[in-house]
């Protein structure tokens, strides 16, 4: 079902620091056109439709205002995720994070936006007493894990998780500061938060400008290492570190994200060498922080 795009969700203050001063960065494209459920799928082909974005003068967060009304968000029922690409992503997250899981207190693990829970399944059940996921879309999980449909619907007990992960999630949250405070409260002392996000200051984003896939209908904000570090520190997180994050995907996935003609993208995908894996750091960053 298609709906008319209307950017009518005004945000008078920065959703991260609450700052009132900002400057216009991007004017927005696509208002008056239509969107559909696939517009909210993960790793979709960029549509070139995005809301106006502002940059906070206090914390440098890039945020949409006015944005698409939250009531129109379609990812709750979206079944258009490419699960082969999701499997590549889960493997990259696992490979990068596992060597860094040292000195954690015993407890549960939580993955926010877990999809079909491939990352959770790769976590050692001997290290975590329970593996929990939050996933709003109508996906099929691969195992009988506890999956909640809404963010903190289960009203998790304070200080109950030793690990919380959120991969490519912060961009989609209406109130990211509030959500991160909830995460902080449910982490055990010494517990670890791992976030992977788009980087609004990445060289690829600056190079592509208005053609960057970071600018998207469903992205309410885009953090950078300085803006996210500032917010996490204000909440109370310690030992915050940001890293450039490498992703491994087939070559045809990388060309799908590039501003190339659709015929070229199709041609690459149909070639046998289009499935060759390619490891690149092109604009995502990982953040580790402890309670």
Number of structural domains, the chain?
1
**What pLDDT is attached to residue 73?**
64
- pLDDT above 90 as % of the chain: 64
Phi/psi of residue 93, nearest 5 degrees: -65, -45
The rounded distance, in Å, linking the Cα atoms of 102 and 97 is: 10
Rounded to 10 degrees, the C-alpha dihedral 91/41/136/94 comes to 10
Where is 290: in which H helix or E strand?
strand 284-290
Tokens 């517990």: give the residue.
191
Tokens of 100: 């860094």
Q: Which residue, among 176, 177, 168, has the nearest Cα to 199 in the 3D structure?
A: 168
- Tens digits of residue pLDDT in 175-208: 999 999 999 999 999 999 999 999 999 999 999 9
Residues of the chain falling short of pLDDT 50: 75-77
**What pLDDT is attached to residue 238?**
97
**What pLDDT is attached to residue 37?**
58
The rounded distance, in Å, linking the Cα atoms of 21 and 187 is: 32
Average pLDDT, the chain: 88
Task: Identify whether the C-beta of residue 58 lies closer than 8 Å to the C-beta of residue 92.
Answer: no
- Tens digits of residue pLDDT in 242-288: 999 999 999 999 998 888 999 999 999 999 999 999 999 989 999 99
**What pLDDT is attached to residue 166?**
97
| Three-class HEC string of 217-281 | CCCCEECCHHHHHHHHHHHCCEEEEEEECCEEEEHHHHHHHCCCCHHHHHHHHHCHHHHCEEEEC
Task: Identify whether the C-beta of residue 40 lies closer than 8 Å to the C-beta of residue 139.
Answer: no
Structural domain that includes position 112: 3-290
CATH number at residue 27: 3.40.50.150
* Secondary structure (3-state) at 98: helix
**What pLDDT is attached to residue 69?**
84
């Amino acid at each position: 079902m298609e709906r008319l795009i209307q950017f009518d969700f005004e945000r008078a203050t920065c959703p991260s620091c609450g700052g009132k001063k900002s400057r216009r960065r991007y004017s927005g494209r696509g208002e008056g056109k239509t969107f559909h459920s696939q517009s909210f799928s993960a790793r979709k082909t960029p549509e070139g439709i995005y809301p106006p974005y502002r940059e906070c003068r206090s914390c440098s967060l890039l945020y949409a205002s006015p944005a698409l009304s939250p009531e129109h968000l379609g990812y709750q029922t979206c079944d258009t995720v490419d699960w082969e690409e999701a499997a590549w992503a889960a493997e990259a997250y696992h490979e990068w994070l596992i060597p860094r899981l040292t000195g954690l207190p015993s407890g549960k693990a939580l993955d926010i936006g877990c999809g079909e829970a491939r990352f959770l399944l790769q976590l050692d059940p001997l290290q975590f007493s329970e593996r929990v996921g939050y996933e709003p879309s109508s996906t099929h999980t691969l195992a009988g894990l506890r999956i909640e449909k809404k963010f903190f619907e289960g009203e998790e007990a304070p200080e109950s998780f030793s690990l919380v992960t959120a991969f490519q999630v912060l961009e989609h949250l209406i109130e990211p500061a509030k959500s991160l405070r909830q995460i902080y409260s449910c982490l055990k002392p010494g517990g670890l938060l791992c976030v992977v996000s788009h980087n609004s200051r990445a060289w690829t984003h600056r190079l592509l400008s208005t053609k960057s896939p970071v600018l998207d209908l469903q992205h309410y904000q885009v953090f950078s290492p300085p803006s996210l570090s500032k917010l996490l520190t204000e909440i109370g997180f310690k030992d915050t570190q940001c890293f450039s994050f490498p992703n491994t995907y087939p070559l045809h996935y990388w060309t799908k994200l590039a501003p190339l003609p659709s015929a070229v993208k199709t041609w690459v995908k149909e070639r046998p060498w289009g499935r060759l894996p390619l490891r690149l750091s092109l604009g995502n960053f990982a953040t580790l922080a402890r309670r």
